[in-house]
A and B are shown apart, each in its own frame.
Chain A
Amino acid sequence: MTADGKHFTGVQRFLHWSMAACIIAMFFIGVGMVSTIMPKYVPLLATHKTPGVAIFVLALVRLAVRARSGAPPLPADLTAPKKLAAHLSHYGLYGLMVAMPLLGWAMLSAGAYPVVLYGDIRLPAILPQNAALHTLLWNAHSYLAFAFFALVLTHVAAALFHALVRRDGVFAAMAPVGSRSGAAPR
């Protein structure tokens, strides 16, 4: 359980917000690069891979931290279906932040592309070259990217609903800096 039972730990909040920024950037880099033939295509693709793989590593760290530190309970007055929705959506978010980079990496492997990150870090292929797998993974990476975006939007809407309408401390639990609640003991 977290230190005070009401807030995610500092490490968790740091991971949440830095990864949120990276993931949101990834959506824009992804759709931007596949729709351009301009010189920026090359740096965009390189940029897409590096934070993409960083997200994968951070997601694993984050899950480990989550397993150790836990999460504050949702407000008691939230109905059971809403709690279930919250939990399922969080599973979905965690699942996608692990799956998307893996799909990208696997798709490039199945396409016989070298996977090179900034700093000339060369990742090994995680699949043999295979046309059918390449197609499957490319479709999965592309469709799941939009599902992920939709889920993040829903998540943001729900978080803001908690922050602005319900004002029930759920947002404060993850707030990047101490909230106005005054109830947040440092």
Chain B
Amino acid sequence: MPLPPSGPRSTLASLAVIAAICAGAIGALAYTAGWLSPDRLTSTKLVDALAPSNGPVPGYRRNHAKGICFTGVFEANGNGAALSRARAFQTGRHPALGRFNLGTPDPGAPDATVRVRGLGLQITAEDGAVWRTAMINAPVFPVSSPEAFYALLRVPASKAPNAMAAFVAAHPEFAPFGAWAKSPDWTASYAQEPYNGLNAFLLINASGAEQAVRWSFRPQAQAERITPGDLAKRGEAYLEREIIERVAAAPQRWSLILTVAEPGDPTADPSRAWPEGRRSVEAGILVVERIEPEADGPCRDVNFDPTILPDGIRVSDDPFPAARSAAYARSYDLRTAEAKDYPRSAAEAPR
């Protein structure tokens, strides 16, 4: 035995040391976990704030809840390969899976009540690398930071008079989105919308050079302008009926446009458009070949987390993708846990 067992005095001191180490470890974990900082903005708070006043609809996405699946292919033309070494940009046909959706937490919301339309997309290159992105038809995002988005989500619940006016006054960046949202020219089809990534990402090419870009999928279909009033007359779920018929008649196409930032362009702020005239690269065509109902369709249980990126694309200084990733994971965890609440067949869906 190396040393005699310690005496009573030093035993007490030793026990105190051990207790202090354990308490310190628990305290450090609690601090890291945010249990001591209730003001920290978490994914739980963001996702809770998305819920409508009568509560979230269990089993569904916490935002962009109304949607329909598609499969197809991304036909890369090789033009993007100079900017990114991701295999998805090399000439070839890469399988695609996605979801047309409406920016609402209510899966039963009538089409004409939702201005924001979205596209969730997954492109899988032949080497198996997965690229996911979720984009909307708005040309800019309403706010410049995730914190401001949280504040915006909390406006409807606010008891203060003129809460929205106060928010807009405090967030001048809201104006371009606000003007777009008020404009009456909607389109009559998911196929006629552009889908803009809004967030900036860095593309990394074969020699390791990095370049900030934003991307958009621009429709090849001609836009049929329609007012929300006329859209309402076509029915609450017209857009889904329309896209089913349209794709059954012919595949629908979008061109992927990469817009290349110049030094000084606001990469960290999706509420600010980049100046006109930026170099753009058309990197390929998304072909939507087949529509499937969301119920048990291939897109329902996919999280179109915008930080799931192949080698050759990474996040930039834009704070949104990280915040979105955290929030989408939370939404996904919740909705998969509530899978039993999701109607199993399309006929049961709340339409």
Contacts and interface: CB of A to CB of B under 8 A. Distances in A.
Partners in one complex: yes
Contact of B29 (A34, A38, A149): A149
Given A36-B326, A131-B336, A42 B5 contact: no
Contact of B40 (A35, A172, A179): A35
Interface in B1-36: 1-6, 11, 14-15, 17-18, 21-22, 25-26, 28-29, 32-34
Interface range, B side: 35 or more
A42 B311 contact: no
A181 interface: yes
B336 A134 contact: yes
Contacts of B6: 164-165, 167
B301 interface: yes
A113 interface: yes
B315 interface: yes
Interface in B278-329: 301-303, 305, 307-308, 311, 315, 317, 319, 321-323, 325-327
B30 to A, nearest CB: 9
A138 B332 CA distance: 11
Interface string A42-60: 1001000000000000000
A132 interface: yes
Interface stretch (A12-20, A90-98, A153-161): A153-161
A168 B15 CA distance: 16
A166 B5 contact: yes
Given A31-B32, A112-B301, A138-B333, A160 B322 contact: no
A182 interface: yes
A37 B332 CA distance: 15
Interface string A122-160: 100000010110110010000000000100010011001
A122 B322 contact: no
A10 interface: no
A1 to B, nearest CB: 20
B148 interface: no
B130 interface: yes
- Classify chain A's interface size: 35 or more
A1 B325 CA distance: 49
B83 interface: no
B42 interface: yes
A36 B147 CA distance: 12
A44 B167 CA distance: 32
21 contacts: A28-B32, A31-B29, A34-B33, A36-B42, A36-B326, A37-B43, A41-B323, A41-B326, A112-B303, A122-B128, A122-B129, A131-B301, A131-B336, A138-B337, A153-B22, A156-B21, A164-B6, A164-B18, A165-B6, A165-B11, A180-B2
Given A41-B326, A157-B21, A164-B14, 19 more contacts: A31-B32, A34-B326, A35-B33, A35-B42, A37-B41, A39-B322, A41-B325, A113-B303, A113-B308, A138-B337, A153-B22, A157-B22, A160-B18, A161-B18, A165-B15, A167-B4, A167-B6, A172-B2, A179-B2
